[in-house]
Amino acid sequence: MASKFQAPRGTFDVLPEQARGRARVQRVAAEVFARAGYEPIATPAFEDTELFVRGVGRSTDIVVKEMFTFEDKGGRSLTLRPEGTAPICRAYLEHGMQKLAQPVKLFYAGPFFRHERPQAGRYRQFHQIGVEAIGTDSPLADAEVIGLLSDLLAELGVPGVELRLGSLGSPESRRGYLEELKAHLRDNEGDLSQDVRERIEINPLRAFDADDVGTQEVMRTAPTIVESLDGEDAEHFAEVRALLDAAGIAYEIDPTLVRGLDYYTRTIFSFVCEGLGAQSEVGGGGRYDGLIEQLGGPPTPAIGWAAGIERILLALGEEDAREGRDAFVAAATDEQRHRALALAAELRNAGLSAEVDLAGRGLKGQLKHADRIGARRVLILDDDGTAQLRDMDSGEQRPVDPGRALEELGA
Ligand code: AMP
C-alpha cells in the first residue's frame, strides 16, 4: 500500500535510474574544473539569514519571497542556502583565503533551496554546480569562467545552447543610468505591473525581467545599461568580448540582461537552451566585485556562475537509464550458491559488474531476474562442476570451463 506521505511540494526523490545521469554531470564537471585548476569546496546547507539579506540583496525576489528561513533552538535566524556565492565569500573571509595566491579558484556542487512556484525545471530544492574565481578583476578571468561553462555544456552534449552577454557597469557608473531608467519608468507608470511600480525606487533593473506584457512594452523603449557604459567599464566589456571572440565562443549581446541577485557588477551572462521552454536558462552568473567588501572584507573583485543540474538533465532529455550488468552468476542448485557468490566476487575484483541471486529463486527465476536487470551474459553453475555460458541477447548457450570464467567473460 502506498504511504500517505509524499515528498514535499517542489522536491523530488532521485531514484537510482536518475542518479546515474546526475553522477555523470558531476563527474564531467569536476574533470573540466580540475583541468583548469579549480579546487572543490563545500559549505553548509544553511547559513545566518543576514548573510543572504546582505549578500543577495534586501529587495530581491530571493530574499523577499523565496527563502526558507527558520529560528534554531538558540533563537538564531538561519536560512537554507538559496545560492552558493555568498556562502563561499563568507568562507573565503572566514578562512583568510585572501592570504593565498590570488585568484582563488573554486568549484562546488550541492542542493539549494528557494520557495518558488514549482513547474517544469523549477523546484524548491534543486541542485547547482558552480565555479568562482575570487581576487581578480581581469577580463581574462571573465573569459576563463565563461569558457568553463561553455566547455562543460559541450562536453556533456547539451544541444541548442546560446550564450547571452551583458554588462551592468560598476555601481558608481550605474548610478547615473539608474536615474535615467527610473525616470523612464515613472513616465510610463500607468502601464507597469504593480510589482514593478512598487519597486521603481529600490530595484528598477528588475523591470527588464518582468513577465507582464504592459511592463515589457514599456521596457522596449527603455534606455539600456550596455549603451551607457563608459570609461573603464566599457573597456572591460570590450576586452571580455575580444577574448571570447578569440576563443571562438559565440555569444549575443543582450542589453536587457539582468539577474535576480543584487551583487552583480560589470559582466553578466546567461546560457540558455531553447528546448527548455519557460525555464530556459541552464546556467549563468557574472562579476561580483563588491560582494566581499559588503560582507566586511577588503575590496576583492570576483566572478563566477552556477548551473542547474536538473536543467542540464532536462536539456539532455536524459532517459532514465538503467545500466546493464556484464554478468549474472546463476546456481543450478542450492549447493552451488556459495560458489556463485565467490565467483561473482572474483569477477567484480577483475573489474566486471556481476550479480548473484539473493532471493532464493530457482534456476528459471534466476534467468528471468538476470534478464530484468539487464545482464548480458549468465554463467550457470551446475552440480557436477561444469558450467554453461548463456548469451542473453541471442539466447545461445554453450558449456564452458568454470575455472576460465574470467577469460570467457573478457575480464
Ligand atoms: P541563479 O542562482 O538564480 O543565478 O541560477 C543559476 C541556475 O540555477 C539557473 O540557470 C538554473 O539552471 C538553476 N536554478 C535556479 N533556480 C532554480 C530552481 N528553482 N529550480 C531549478 N533550477 C534552478
Per-residue pLDDT band for 260 (boundaries 50, 70, 90) equals: confident
In a mutational test of the pocket of ligand 1, which residue from 56, 128, 162, 259 has the highest number of ligand atoms less than 8 Å from its CB? 128
| Rounded CA separation 288/350 (Å) | 49
- Ligand 1 atom showing the smallest separation from residue 123 Cα: 20
Per-residue pLDDT band for 173 (boundaries 50, 70, 90) equals: confident
Distance 123 CA to ligand 1 centre (A): 9
pLDDT of 286-331, one tens digit each? 999 999 999 999 999 999 999 999 999 999 987 555 677 899 999 9
Share of the chain above pLDDT 70, in %: 98
Grid coordinates given for 181: 531608467
Cβ 291 vs Cβ 89: under 8 Å = yes
Residue nearest to atom 20 of ligand 1 (CA): 122
The count of residues in the chain is 411
Per-residue pLDDT band for 35 (boundaries 50, 70, 90) equals: very high
The yes-or-no verdict on residue 1 having pLDDT over 80 is no
Distance 197 CA to ligand 1 centre (A): 25
Least confident piece of the model among 85-89, 100-104, 256-260, 289-293: 256-260
- Write the burial class of residue 189 (CB in 10 Å: 0-12 exposed, 13-18 middle, 19+ buried): exposed
| Rounded CA separation 354/347 (Å) | 7
Q: How far is CA 220 from CA 213, 217, 260, in A?
A: 11, 5, 20
Distance 306 CA to ligand 1 centre (A): 7
For residues 244-263, average pLDDT: 92
In a mutational test of the pocket of ligand 1, which residue from 52, 88, 126 has the highest number of ligand atoms less than 8 Å from its CB? 126
Angle at the Cα of 160 from the Cα atoms of 144 and 263, rounded to 5 degrees: 45
Residue nearest to atom 17 of ligand 1 (CA): 122
Q: Which amino acid is at 23?
A: A
Q: Which value, in Å, is the radius of gyration of the alpha carbons in the chain?
A: 27
Q: What is the pLDDT of residue 113?
A: 98
The yes-or-no verdict on residue 180 having pLDDT over 60 is yes
For 370-389, b/e burial (b = at least 16 CB within 10 A) is beeeebbbbbbbbeeeebbb
- Ligand 1 atom showing the smallest separation from residue 62 Cα: 3
Write out residues with Cβ below 6 Å of ligand 1: 83, 114, 116, 121-123, 126, 128, 259-260, 281-284, 306-308, 310-311
Q: What is the pLDDT of residue 319?
A: 56
Residue nearest to atom 12 of ligand 1 (CA): 308
Cβ 57 vs Cβ 261: under 8 Å = yes
- Ligand 1 atom showing the smallest separation from residue 121 Cα: 21
In a mutational test of the pocket of ligand 1, which residue from 311, 312, 313 has the highest number of ligand atoms less than 8 Å from its CB? 311
Distance 122 CA to ligand 1 centre (A): 8
The yes-or-no verdict on residue 411 having pLDDT over 80 is no
Residue nearest to atom 3 of ligand 1 (CA): 260
Q: What is the pLDDT of residue 341?
A: 97
Element (H, E) at 12: none
Sorted by sequence, the CB contacts under 8 Å of residue 92 that are 6+ apart come out as: 98, 104, 134, 292, 297, 300
Of the spans 134-138, 170-174, 199-203, 276-280, which averages the highest pLDDT?
134-138
- Write the burial class of residue 123 (CB in 10 Å: 0-12 exposed, 13-18 middle, 19+ buried): buried
For residues 350-355, average pLDDT: 93
At which residue does the C-alpha cell 562442476 appear?
385
- Ligand 1 atom showing the smallest separation from residue 281 Cα: 10
